[in-house]
Amino acid sequence: MPHVFIILLLIMLFVVLLSWVIPSGSYERVTDETTGISVVVPDTFQYVENETPITFFDYFEAIYTGFVNGATIMGTLFISSGMIYLLEVSGAFGAGIHLILNKTRGREFSVVCIFYTIFVIFGVLGYGEAAYPFYPLAVTIGFALGYDRMVGTALAIVGSTVGFTSGLMNTFTTGVAQQIVGLPLFSGIGYRAVGLAVFYLIGLIGLYTYCRKIKKNPELSLVKDEYLNQKKQNLTDTMEEMNLPRALGLLVFLGTIIIQGYGCIQLSWSFPQIAAIYVIMGILLSIIFRISPSKACELFCKGALRVFAAAFAVGLAQSVVTLMNQACIMDTIVHGMSVLLENKSAILALLIIFVFVTLFNFLVVSGSGKAVIVMPILQPLGRILNINQQVLVLAYQYGDGITNSFWPGSSLVQLSMCGIDYGSWIKFCWKIYLSFVVSAFILVLIAYGFGYGPF
């Protein structure tokens, strides 16, 4: 497979080609007085003359603009990864893993289940990019358990996908979409919990099947060259024992995660606040492990450097959106979907909505960004077709969440954190994700069948 940067640059080129085929169009937008969210006004679409068509130089300029637009994510990624590295070099993570391995010998998959569940919880809380710094840790855990790199990658990415897709307490998709259509925030949580259980089991079965397969025959590993040369004993032998400073360091780390979760849910924190608590964590870790300020800065730089490729990929992913905005084709695509829904049966309309959001996610990764464009269009159509607004939100969140780690726009960033190429990832995950998609649409149909509400 080509390098992650090459793939993203090709997607940018694809958007340029689309700008020559799809005419420019625009909806009027207003700011909702209740939520403060800028949303489109249905029935105001009109084709427009694009006064700033994409030129040869614009293609390259979009790279810089994408970096500027993605600066909050990139900055948080650098800061959190650099601070977490202070904990890694202290041996605290290794000692913690060593302790877990001693307690679970012969039950390695139970440890996979534990960390898979932790990443599911991260997804439920809507962590998204905020969970990226933990992905390399998941890979290390997979190695320590005697599995290959793919297992660690999967427990992190599939786990996060399961939690994020469920929309249980996800402000970025469920929360924004419900506010736009006028539903109580996080209403209908019971049925979404059922969806979470379904996705959780599908992901866990996929993980178990692969773990069992490579344990029986390492030749079947999707990264077999590395796996065959991998020595589990080499890793665990270098792990040091737990002591008081390392235990305190892990407690500080755990406290940071808990505070981050509380801040995101209860205090509406975003990336600046998340970055701030990691800086505080880094200062505390320096004190606990008696690291001098200059040495701490050196270690921070080493830790931040590890995620340079992932951060660069975030900027390129934002460049795709930059080009789409310049081409003025996002509204045209959404308008085309709304026309397609006219005079369709409710079930067929739900299928079209689900497929459309899934495909649109290839170009526009942001869940909240898609919601402010799509949901105001779906709201009146839902009333015309007698589809509950809650069902529409469910179809939207499932269409958005599942493919966040499948389409290259966002999955390449995650995979670069884990050292897995896109081709190997698709070979591993396509059956799991196909099962996600099928079960998600069945859940949407069931919700429609019993009148999942409120209306």
Helical residues (DSSP H) of 231-366, grouped into ranges = 232-237, 244-266, 271-288, 293-305, 308-327, 330-341, 346-360
3-state SS class at 452 = coil
- Domain edges within the chain: 4-12+21-45+57-66+312-449, 71-308
Q: Indicate whether this model's pTM tops 0.85.
A: no
pLDDT band at 455 (very low <50, low <70, confident <90, very high): low
Rg of the chain (C-alpha set)? 23
62-112: pLDDT as tens digits: 999 999 988 988 898 899 889 989 988 898 888 887 787 777 777 889 889
User: Could you please report the per-residue DSSP string of 152-202?
Assistant: HHHHHHHHHHHHHHHTSS-IIIIIHHHHHHTPPTTTTHHHHHHHHHHHHHH
The identity of residue 319, as a single letter, is S
Distance, CA of 17 to CA of 27 (rounded, Å): 22
Predicted confidence (pLDDT) per residue in 161-170, tens digit = 999 999 887 7
From residue 371, how far is each of 40, 320, 324, 375 by CA, in Å? Answer: 10, 18, 16, 5
Q: What is the mean pLDDT of the chain?
A: 88
Q: What confidence tens digit (pLDDT) does each residue in 127-169 have?
A: 777 788 889 889 988 988 889 999 999 999 999 999 999 988 7
What is the pLDDT at residue 35? 64
Is residue 225 predicted with pLDDT exceeding 90?
no
In the predicted model, is pLDDT for residue 235 greater than 70? no
21-39 mean pLDDT = 82
Residue 442 has pLDDT above 90, yes or no: yes
Contacts of 197 (CB under 8 A, 6+ apart): none
pLDDT digit string, tens, across residues 388-412:
889 999 999 999 899 988 998 778 8
Question: In this predicted model, which residue has the larger pLDDT, 185 or 82?
Answer: 82
User: What single-letter amino acid sits at 119?
Assistant: F
